Amino acid sequence: MEAPLWTDEYAPAVADLPQPSVREYLEEARDEPLNLVLHGPKGAGKTAAARALAREAHEDPDNDFVELNVADFFDRTKKEIRNDERFAPFLAGRSSMSKRDMMNHVLKESASYQPVSGRYKTVLLDNGEAIREDFQQALRRVMEQYYEATQFAIATRQSSTLIPPIRSRCFPVTVRAPTHDEIETVLRRIVEAEDADYDDEGLEFVAGYAGGDLRKAILGAQTTYEEAGEITMNAAYEALGEVRTDEAVETMLSAAEDGDVTEARSTLDDLLVDEGHSGVEVLEALLRVGRSRYSGDRLARLHRVAGEIDLDLAEGTNDRLHLSHFLAELAAEA
């Protein structure tokens, strides 16, 4: 999408969060700051809730709210971290640091400065389930040292991965997946603010497509509107059918790359039998996803194998057999 994402453009205030209990807890934390662990499934709104809290708690959230995504460190190279404009000022001249020490340094520096406005600032650690235990020990020490001027919020899908000393210093906030009706309410607020044409059946379809993932629902509504100029059931079905297929193909390719052909074939069966796609449609989706996933020799090989399978599909009658051969080739390469 080239237009601003609706998830950013219509970021919720605390009062707009769909879960009543989350609104209640964050209103208390806004008035009396305390460390938080926001835990719940993907797409439930954990990060959006922490951002909403920071915007309302600080007069100058641009300076008094620091957001650190754990994946920005542990899933990237040291060079990529040093070149990130958010971290470069902290890491200048420290090229010999390990990734763990780099993150520890950025965290400590972020927590140590005095708030620009008010009496405290907020540091959000997103994707907290990926925080390694050795870093958690350093985090515990930072939380103890800077507790007077820094509120920590940890967003995670699995709070049990946090060590007890951290959990004991944080108030737990369960961010459950929003219900179907709650997602529809959020979508209606956004599309009406956007002045987008829609009907109730369209919003209901998008909410069901998302399966409790609020971010997925909002982006699905935006995709539908940008492609069709309206959000109706027919428009959403046409716009999101390909998106849903590509997500399943992503899962199937990941399983094949991991050598789990059985799991990959299970997803293939879902696409061919449950979803009713033809072998040619699945092959087209495999190539579409592959072009965004691979490059160089691997992408060339993907196209070469796909050409062989395309011929087999044209001459044969068993789509599952030929596409299973495709997945087995990918697994063998991995």
Q: Taking the domains of the chain in order of start, what are their residue ranges?
A: 19-174, 178-231, 237-334
pLDDT bucket at 31, cuts 50 / 70 / 90: confident
> What is d(CA 191, CA 174) in angstroms, rounded to the nearest whole number?
27
Q: Give residue-wise pLDDT tens across range 87-133.
A: 888 888 777 788 778 888 888 888 888 899 888 999 999 999 888 88
Q: Are 39 and 174 in contact (CB under 8 A)?
A: yes
The answer to whether domain 237-334 has CATH 3.40.50.800 is: no
Helix 319-333, helix 279-293: angle, nearest 10? 20
Per-residue model confidence (pLDDT) at position 39: 96
pTM value is 0.73
Q: CATH: 3.40.50.2000, 3.50.50.60, 3.40.50.300, 3.30.1490.270. Which one for 19-174?
A: 3.40.50.300
pLDDT bucket at 49, cuts 50 / 70 / 90: very high
Q: Are 121 and 146 in contact (CB under 8 A)?
A: no
Give the lowest-confidence range in 45-49, 54-58, 224-228, 271-275.
271-275
Q: Percent of the chain having pLDDT more than 90?
A: 45
pLDDT bucket at 334, cuts 50 / 70 / 90: low
Helices (H), 84-169: 88-91, 99-112, 133-145, 164-167
Q: Which of 154, 155, 127, 149 is nearest to 139 (CA)?
A: 154
Helix 296-315, helix 279-293: angle, nearest 10? 180
pLDDT bucket at 291, cuts 50 / 70 / 90: confident
Work out the mean pLDDT of the chain and round it to a whole number. Answer: 88
Q: CATH: 1.10.150, 1.20.120, 3.40.190, 1.10.8. Which one for 178-231?
A: 1.10.8
